Chains A and B, each alone.
Chain A
Amino acid sequence: MDQTGKFCITMVHGVQEVAHGGIHITSGMMTVALLIFLGSYGAIVSEKIHRTIIAIFGGALMIVAGELMGFYNQHNAVGAVDFNTVGLLVGMMVIVGITKNTGIFQYVAVRAAKLAKGDPWKILLMFALITAVFSALLDNVTTVLLMVPMTFVICDNLKINPMPFLFVEIFMSNVGGTATLIGDPPNILIGSAAGLTFMQFVENLAPAVVIMMIVLIPLFKWWYGKKIQTSRENKERIMKLDERESIENVGLLKKSLFVLGLVILGFFFHGALGMEAATIALFGAGLLLFLDGKNPERVLEEVEWVTIFFFIGLFVLVGGLEHVGAINWAAEKMLELTQGDFQTTSILILWGAAVFSAFVDNIPFVATMIPLVEQMHGVFPQGLEPIWWSLALGACLGGNGTLVGASANLVVAGMAEKSGYKIKFVDFMKVGLIIMTITVAIAQVYMWIRFY
Chain B
Amino acid sequence: MIVKNYMCDWVNTIDQEKTLPEVVKKMVEKKTNSIVVVDENEKPVGLISSRTLIKQVVPGYLKEDPTNSMFGAEGTFDRYADKLRDKKLKDFMDTDFHVLSPDDAMIEAAAYSLKGMQRFLPVADESGKLVGAITRTCIKNALHNVFFANDKVDPKDNGVGK
Contact = CB atoms under 8 A, between A and B. Distances in A.
A434 B33 CA distance: 52
A153 B60 contact: no
Interface stretch (B4-12, B72-80, B106-114, B150-158): B72-80
Contacts of B72: 153, 156
Nearest to A150: B68
B65 A156 contact: no
B128 to A, nearest CB: 32
A237 B65 contact: no
Interface stretch (A272-280, A292-300, A367-375, A416-424): A416-424
Given A156-B73, A157-B73, A420-B80, A145 B67 contact: no
Given A149-B65, A420-B80, A245 B70 contact: yes
A86 interface: no
A420 B64 contact: no
B103 to A, nearest CB: 38
B64 A145 contact: yes
Which of A148, A149, A157, A418 has the most chain B CB atoms closer than 10 A to its own CB?
Answer: A149
Interface residues of B, number: 18
Interface in B57-72: 59-65, 67-72
A100 interface: yes
Contacts of B83: 420
Contact of B73 (A149, A237, A419): A237
Interface string A151-180: 011101101000000000000000000000
Which of B61, B72, B83 has the most chain A CB atoms closer than 10 A to its own CB?
Answer: B61
A445 interface: no
Contacts of B62: 149, 152
Which of B68, B76, B80, B83 has the most chain A CB atoms closer than 10 A to its own CB?
Answer: B68
A150 B69 CA distance: 9
A149 B71 CA distance: 11
A69 interface: no
Which of A156, A241, A414 has the most chain B CB atoms closer than 10 A to its own CB?
Answer: A156
Contacts of B70: 106, 245-246
A386 interface: no
A149 B64 CA distance: 9
B77 to A, nearest CB: 11
27 contacts: A106-B68, A106-B70, A110-B71, A145-B64, A148-B61, A149-B61, A149-B62, A152-B61, A152-B68, A153-B61, A153-B71, A156-B73, A157-B71, A159-B73, A245-B70, A246-B67, A246-B70, A246-B71, A415-B60, A415-B61, A416-B60, A417-B60, A418-B60, A418-B61, A418-B63, A420-B80, A420-B83
